[in-house]
Chains A and B, each alone.
Chain A
Amino acid sequence: MSECLLSVQDLHTSFFTDAGEVQAVNGVSFDLNPGEILGIVGESGSGKSVTAYSIMQILAGTGRITGGRILFKGQDLSKWSEKQMQGFRGKNCSMIFQDPMTSLNPVFTIGDQMREAVVLHTDRRGAAADARVKELLELVGINEPEKRMKQYPFEHSGGMRQRVMIAMALACEPDILIADEPTTALDVTIQAQILELMQSLQKKMGMAVILVTHDLGVIADMCDNIIVMYGGRICERGTAREIFYNPKHEYTKGLLRSIPNVNNMKKKLVPIAGTPINMLNLPKGCAFCPRCDSAMKICLAQVPEEIMISEDHKASCWMNVRAAYEEVIGK
């Protein structure tokens, strides 16, 4: 595919801890097209954030990409020097983080921190840089940008800080914006403001967005395509409607049954049994099979291949093979 903006191919990322190697991401592949909003959803420890960090190459000290390729517009990022990567971050791809409290530096003013991004990545200096900062703050709906530029992060509320983070991420009009749980730390009404802002900015600037979250509601609201992750692997991918109305992986089905929704208010929730897996001790077969009600023998022994359900829907679950087989023999 020529128009593909970012292509992640068989990505493996591990953390080397005292207790052993933790394979946080285990063979993840996906393509991101220009202007697409891709949602990555999963529980804590499913590898969704590590995938995002791997693309930006900002893994913590013990983490390393151990296999696979990340292609940006056809070029392999792993061959890029650190200097080139610095250019990539910000200009081509930028990121907003979960906690706007800790991702801004408390001892610099908002203006200083934003100016840094502008000066590093564009040729604007001095007054021109200030003008750009002001323009960006207006873009994300901050009133009195000149006053706000002189203030420190603690003088802003959580929602304001997240707006500043978004403004900073958009400083160089990147092709890709990665948002790692951008609204998890915010209240519902503020979350609605930020989601609305992200949607309108995406329409205005046409960038691609990777939205990493555990909140299925946010995913349903925002995303064109969805990737569901569990235990460092992709278990299902497809358009939002396919994932929500026609889930084909037992984990996705379980997840959708276990959350309160408008349709099941008075019915009992159906929880997923057991607890999330220990990443130090991954099962040999499907990562979800210890918690799966329909687990079969093969699930224990072999990791399921990705099976095409339809043009825009794929799932990695042996149940689909069984269903196809039963259809063929006419059961």
Chain B
Amino acid sequence: MSETLVEVKNLKQYFPVKAGFGKTIPLKAVDDISFEVGKGETLGLVGESGCGKTTAGRSMLRLYTPTAGEVLFDGVPVTDKNIMHMRKQMQMVFQDPYSSLDPRMTVEDIIGEPLDVHHLCSNRKERREKILELMNYVGLNAEHARRYAHEFSGGQRQRIGIARALAVDPQFIVCDEPVSALDVSIQAQVINMFEELQDKLGVAYLFIAHDLLVVHHISKRIAVMYLGKIVEIADSDELNRHPIHPYTESLLSAVPIPDPDVTRARQRIILEGDVPSPLKRPTGCPFRTRCRHAAEQCAQECPSLTDRGGDHQVACWVR
């Protein structure tokens, strides 16, 4: 891996949930995760809904105040005090291109807002030029600047969201399901744009998504989450070829591949049942209730990530 840019250490994010009579119990959305993102690298974060992948991304940028743990950017801890400064380096692209843009602002104002907040432009002319440059980066025309978000299609709105994130010249962007709301033929346009921007600007991504084929395509490394824990991290090709954790294995085998011969010849590992509620986490390994290989030890103690060689980390007792 190249030089580390962002380091997440033992990040925990609990939300209080009312349990009646003034009592609250913690919902452990993200429970003690650690990982690193290198400079100019893409780390994919996958998992099913409710596994905490979005929360992890938001906690890293302090959209929530983490319960415990640290996020280091270039070796400097991100705190409430320096977050304004840090957000010049770390930005976010949101999932829903419809609700993440203010309908009463023009494209120019949406993209210009981060420039104003961080006082990056000294005069109107400079601001205007910067905005047009950003729009050009993401493939929007200059005449779009005075229009409102509702005048654009989903793919174009996502481009506006990306231009807004790029406005402060960040080195790191958290992309939270940026293509899942888009049509198949538009997805490829946006994925390609992410890749081109990375080549041009050297920005690193944390690419959160549930579509494993998309994540495999764009990411250099992939982290798999289950019930608030990271169960496996590896190079993306390595992970797809040799998944070690039983959850990763079944997740990969469950993805329908758009190739009739390949997908029909495959052995599918069908998991029983549903993901347990994060309020009623199983003891020990969170996956053990659905795992075919669960042993006694799995119920007692939660496995932590261990290196299995070649930067392939897995949290599993059995394998």
Contacts and interface: CB of A to CB of B under 8 A. Distances in A.
A44 B183 contact: yes
Interface in B195-247: 195, 210, 212-214, 216-217, 237
A276 to B, nearest CB: 6
B259 A275 contact: no
B270 A221 contact: no
A189 B48 contact: yes
Interface stretch (B11-19, B24-32, B248-256, B294-302): B248-256
B260 interface: yes
B268 A196 contact: yes
B258 interface: yes
Chain A interface main SS type: helix
A270 B188 contact: yes
Interface in A236-284: 240-241, 244-245, 254-265, 268-273, 275-276
A105 B210 CA distance: 29
Contacts of B213: 217, 259-261
A265 B49 CA distance: 24
A71 interface: no
B82 interface: no
A190 interface: yes
A309 interface: no
A101 interface: no
Given A43-B185, A275-B186, A196 B270 contact: yes
B264 interface: yes
Contact of A240 (B49, B191, B260, B268): B260
A244 B258 CA distance: 8
A257 to B, nearest CB: 8
Interface string A13-30: 000000000000000000
A192 interface: yes
Interface in B139-192: 153, 155-156, 183-189, 191-192
B80 interface: no
A190 B274 CA distance: 7
A220 B259 contact: yes
A220 B256 contact: yes
A188 interface: yes
Q: Which of B184, B186, B191 has the most CB of A within 10 A?
A: B184
B256 A215 contact: yes
A63 B257 CA distance: 35
What class of interface size applies to chain A in its complex with B? 35 or more
B256 A43 contact: no
Given A187-B210, A220-B263, A276-B183, A261 B258 contact: yes
Interface in A208-228: 214-221
A36 to B, nearest CB: 15
Given A187-B49, A188-B210, A189-B254, A258 B188 contact: yes
Interface in A183-209: 187-193, 195-196
A217 B153 contact: no
A236 B259 CA distance: 17
A157 interface: yes
A237 to B, nearest CB: 15
Contacts of B270: 189, 192-193, 196
Contact of B254 (A44, A188, A271, A275): A188
A160 interface: yes
Nearest to A158: B274
Contacts of B268: 192, 196
A254 B184 CA distance: 10
A159 interface: yes
A219 B48 CA distance: 21
A261 B185 contact: no
Interface of B: 48-49, 153, 155-156, 183-189, 191-192, 195, 210, 212-214, 216-217, 237, 250-251, 253-264, 268, 270-271, 274-275
**Which 8 A-B pairs give the minimum distances between C-beta atoms?**
A217-B256, A271-B188, A192-B254, A258-B188, A260-B217, A216-B258, A272-B185, A187-B48
